[in-house]
Amino acid sequence: MDSDRLNRWITLAANIGVLVGLIVLIIEIGQNTEVMRAQMAQERANQIVQKMDAYIHSDYWPMIAAKRDEAGSPREWIASLNGEDYQRVLYTYVRDINDIRNQFYQYQQGYLPQVVWDASTRGQIVRLLNLGSALGRPERFEGDAEFKAEIQRIAEEEKLPFPNDDGVWP
């Protein structure tokens, strides 16, 4: 009888140990999630700073930006660029599409706060839509259908052009 009683106490202690272990694990996962979100926010800030530093120290971006500021419309700006600068703007456009696609994924997963999506990312999408229209480049926003639908929703809300299913801008 004593060994049976001892086994019950050992089993109870083991179960309590497992329960305490699970509680500690849940707390650690929550803390790890918060650290991961902070790291993602810091990395995003670092990328923005690096991008701006690259523009500031560039031999050509200030001139491209000055032409943009002098132009009466995005299409007039694109028309004023030489071939090399056009390619720079085009590569920036493609890079930004991929950046926004990544931000959308992070937003869907809950890693990008609503306030960032509504302010910073939405502004980036508006600039992207204006630039895409000016470039006249075939664009389908391929990949995730939800991503395309979100970009299209923002375009409609902002009354901005959006390419048709063949990628042609209006």
The ranges assigned to domains in the chain are: 1-57, 59-170
| Residue 90 near residue 137, CB atoms below 8 Å | yes
SS3 136: coil
Written as tens digits, the pLDDT of the chain (170 aa) is 588 888 888 898 888 989 999 999 988 888 888 888 778 778 877 888 888 888 888 899 999 999 999 999 889 999 999 999 999 999 999 888 888 998 898 889 888 888 888 888 999 999 989 898 888 877 767 777 898 899 999 999 999 988 887 777 87
* CA 102-150-94 angle, 5° bins: 45
Alpha carbon distance 83, 86 (integer Å): 5
Q: Which residue has the tokens 């502004």?
A: 123
Task: Tell me which residue of 102, 95, 91, 150 sits closest to 126, measured CA to CA.
Answer: 150
Alpha carbon distance 25, 19 (integer Å): 10
What is the DSSP code (8-state) at residue 57? T
